[in-house]
């Protein structure tokens, strides 16, 4: 695959992430904040998001395993996760968190457990997608190419 | 003197200082985002992760006794280790002290005249009015974008030829000022190249050829 093909592949892949709703305009804002003076900004923020998310998921799993569930605590964790996913533009994760909070309010154990699985799933999917995105970018740079800008209308 | 693309405030002794924002947020992701947004807007940023840390930084918290030093003599106005704080931006929802609690403490302290901006991921009108009535200058909704930082422009120091208020990119003419130098080139340029604000529709898809 030559650089041109790789670049086209990256553009198509990036567009698909937005079209399929995995990412929203906030991710574009992160990309806008990256420049020559701060060339790894997006990767750094996303990396922090991965670390933070995995910590939150552990805490959530633990909280929902308790005999007596502290729904306030569960809600606090979900609120945190909703915030961080929103800040990086991980739309599906954010939406799963919003639904989750609804069930926390109802103090519905079964629904909360289901929501946790949903949130976990969405998280691992977007993590995989973002890692693929970064891999494609690295391949292009490694081959001496530059990352093409993707402009989208919402 | 070299032209620096930074928001520069002339201090009391005539030395140049940067507009310094103290950012308070318990989320590491939001701290990083805010730090970048402010840096791109040419501000100096200090990040802390709680209201307590913010009060400590401002010299309002006595470590030993954990009490508020409202009348601390160390407050030769707003200096900490020789660094002036020009604005405080705080998240609303934080464990322990909330952004609102922090706001109230600041307004009851020698720091009461420093503008405080509150940020929140939740759009709750009663919360917004409460914060504004409590003395907050602005209430910003998360996730933050560059367009939100533009709302803070009025609080940055103004100079006679400030051309950053509109979309104008005629800031080049201002570069000849010597000491009172407010170079907003970086902000204007970024406006020209940044994505348009959420409300506007974006340009059509660009295919890579």
Q: What gap in Å lies between CA B39 and CA B86, rounded to an integer?
A: 14
Q: Which DSSP letter does residue A119 get? A: H
Instruction: Give residue B8's pLDDT.
Output: 61
Chain B residues close to A86, C-beta within 8 Å: 121, 142-143
Q: How far is B27 from chain A (nearest CA, A)?
A: 7
pLDDT digits (tens, 9 = 90+) for A44-86: 999 999 999 999 999 999 999 999 999 999 999 999 999 999 9
Low-confidence ranges of chain B (pLDDT < 70): 1-16, 62-83, 157-209
**Cβ neighbours of B37 in A, within 8 Å:** 33
Residues of B in contact with A101 (CB under 8 A): none
Pairing of strands B79-80, B44-48: unpaired
- Residue of B28, B40, B198 with shortest CB distance to A48: B28
| DSSP result, B56-121 | HHTT-B-TTT--B-TT-TT-SSSEETTEE--EEEEES--SSS-HHHHHHHHHTSTTTTS-EEEEES
Shortest Cα–Cα distance, A154 to chain B (Å): 6
ipTM of predicted assembly, 2 dp: 0.94
Determine contact, residues A24/A91, Cβ cutoff 8 Å: yes
pLDDT digits (tens, 9 = 90+) for A2-12: 999 999 999 99
Give kind and range of the element (H or E) at residue B48: strand B44-48
Residue-level pLDDT at B80? 52
Domains delineated in chain A: 3-142 (1.20.120.160)
Q: What is the pLDDT of residues B46-76, one digit of tens each?
A: 999 999 999 999 998 765 445 555 555 444 4
Q: Which residues of B touch A45 (CB under 8 A)?
A: 29, 32-33
Q: Do A152 and B202 touch (CB under 8 A)?
A: yes
Q: Which of A13, A29, A40 to mutate to test the interface with B (most CBs of B within 10 A)?
A: A29
Q: Is any Cβ of chain A less than 8 angstroms from the Cβ of B29?
A: yes
And the tokens for B22? Answer: 């103290």
Residue of B nearest to A148 (CA): B208
How confident is the model over A16-28, as pLDDT tens digits?
999 999 999 999 9
Picking from A34-38, A53-57, A129-133, which range would have the lowest pLDDT averaged per residue? A34-38
User: Looking at chain A, which residue has its C-alpha nearest residue B26?
Assistant: A80
Q: Does A94 score more than 60 pLDDT?
A: yes
pLDDT score recorded for residue A121: 98
pLDDT category at A15 given cuts 50, 70, 90 is very high
* Interface subset of B 64-103, CB within 8 angstroms of A: 93, 95
pLDDT of residue B156: 75
Residues in chain A with CB shorter than 8 Å from the CB of B202 are 151-154
Angle at B113 (CA atoms; ends B111, B118), nearest 5 degrees: 85
Interface residues on A facing B, Cβ-Cβ cutoff 8 A: 7-8, 11, 15, 25-26, 28-30, 32-33, 38, 41, 44-45, 48-49, 52, 76, 79-80, 82-84, 86-89, 148-154
What integer is the mean pLDDT of A81-107? Answer: 97
Q: Per the CB < 8 Å rule, is B204 touching A149?
A: no
Mean pLDDT value across chain A: 95
**Rounded CA Rg of chain B:** 18
Residues of B in contact with A123 (CB under 8 A): none
Closest alpha carbon within chain A to B37: A33
Pick from B58, B12, B18: which is nearest to B181 by CA? B18
**Tokens coding B113:** 């005249």
| Residue with the two structure tokens 């996303």 | A46
């Amino acid at each position: 695959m030559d650089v041109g093909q790789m670049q086209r592949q990256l553009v198509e892949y990036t567009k698909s992430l937005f079209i399929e709703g995995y990412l929203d305009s906030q991710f574009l804002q992160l990309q806008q904040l990256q420049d020559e003076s701060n060339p790894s900004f997006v990767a750094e923020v996303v990396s922090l998001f991965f670390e933070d998310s995995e910590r939150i998921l552990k805490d959530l799993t633990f909280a929902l395993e308790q005999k007596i569930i502290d729904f306030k605590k569960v809600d606090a964790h979900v609120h945190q996760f909703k915030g961080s996913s929103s800040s990086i533009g991980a739309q599906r994760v954010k939406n799963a968190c919003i639904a989750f909070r609804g069930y926390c309010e109802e103090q519905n154990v079964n629904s909360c457990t289901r929501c946790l699985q949903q949130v976990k799933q969405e998280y691992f999917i977007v993590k995989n997608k973002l890692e693929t995105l970064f891999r494609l970018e690295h391949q292009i740079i490694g081959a001496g190419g530059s990352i093409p800008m993707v402009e989208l209308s919402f | 003197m070299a032209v620096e693309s930074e928001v520069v405030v002339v201090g009391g002794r005539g030395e140049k200082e940067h507009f310094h924002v103290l950012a308070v947020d318990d989320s590491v992701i939001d701290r990083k985002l805010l730090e970048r947004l402010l840096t791109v807007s040419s501000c100096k940023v200090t990040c802390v992760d709680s209201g307590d840390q913010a009060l400590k930084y401002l010299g309002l918290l006595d470590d030993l006794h954990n009490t508020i030093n409202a009348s601390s003599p160390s407050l030769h106005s707003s200096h900490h280790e020789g660094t002036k704080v020009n604005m405080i931006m705080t998240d609303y929802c934080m464990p322990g002290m909330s952004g609102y609690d922090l706001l109230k403490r600041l307004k009851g302290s020698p720091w009461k005249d420093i503008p405080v901006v509150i940020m929140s991921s939740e759009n709750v009108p009663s919360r917004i009015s409460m914060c504004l009535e409590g003395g907050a200058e602005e209430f910003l909704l998360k996730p933050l974008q560059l367009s939100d930082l533009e709302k803070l422009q009025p609080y940055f120091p103004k100079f006679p030829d400030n051309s950053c208020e509109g979309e104008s990119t005629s800031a080049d003419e201002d570069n000849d000022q010597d000491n009172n130098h407010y170079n907003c080139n970086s902000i204007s340029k970024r406006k020209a190249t940044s994505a348009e604000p959420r409300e506007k529709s974006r340009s059509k898809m660009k295919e890579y050829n």
